[in-house]
Amino acid sequence: MFYIIGLGLGDPEDITVKGLNIVKNCERIYLESYTSILSCGQEKLEEYYGKKLILADREMVEQRADEILEGADTQSIAFLVVGDPFGATTHTDLMLRAKEKGIKTSIVHNASIMNAVGCCGLQLYHFGETVSIPYWDDSWKPDSFYDKIVANLKHGLHTLCLLDIKVKEPTLESLMKKKREYMPPRFMSVSEAAGQLLEIVASKHADEADGMGSQKEHRLSDNSLVVGLARVGHETQQIIACSLKEMQNIDLGPPLHSLIIPNINLHPLEKEFLQQFAALDEPL
């Protein structure tokens, strides 16, 4: 059997009882290490599970999937994922590859950021399409996700923004060489995400001034309310609600961070619950 097991969001103990029992009886166990991370680290997981883990980076999962699945027709192999197994499309691909090989599969679900964001008080059924905010560089500044945020606002919906992480990313120079060299790990913070959004807002408003824009009532502005979340599900979890401009200067500490763009017209219960996280106790 090939198992894909969700680990939850906080620490080693967040794995389900079902998942833990499976892990203890598997011959090989892989830990996916590039779509998300647990702040406790690999060693703590190994100590709690009583098993050695094989770190599965992007290169292994996307280019050497057959290696992961090898022997799963006669042995029990586990693939561990932070959050829930279907939080990333890569894991769906693994399931399809296993099916093509005639390997039996089983999924063990767990909490993910997609439902844990309810901790800030915003109601889950008021969320629209989730977006990802990627890191920019000097030559590549994609902003297509902004249109999805505006569409959600237009329909009275909140937007969960998943922030970019870079783990074992090859340098541009090494891509031309036989020997790979990797950039240091990077995890986007809410302040970095806010900074990029503010650049987009300034650019869009400039276009509107030139007569190229529309839907002003649904756009973002420097004063738009946003919610920053850090290490959701962990004992050091932090949440703060403030303006987009203020969020640029907020430090929520270590990763992982997420950002929410709430609907302009909050439900009274959402507003009351969110108020406890307001920066400087200012009314939202």
163 among annotated binding-site residues: yes
Residue 9 annotated in ligand binding: yes
Q: Is 252 annotated as a binding residue?
A: no
Alpha carbons 266 and 263: distance in angstroms, whole number: 6
Please check if 232 is assigned to a binding site.
Answer: yes
**23 among the known binding-site residues?**
no
Cα–Cα distances (Å) from 232 to 79, 157, 258, in that order, read 22, 21, 9
Tokens of 113: 């950021």
Cite the annotated binding site for S-adenosyl-L-methionine by residue number: 9, 84, 87, 112-113, 163, 232, 257
Cite the annotated binding site by residue number: 9, 84, 87, 112-113, 163, 232, 257
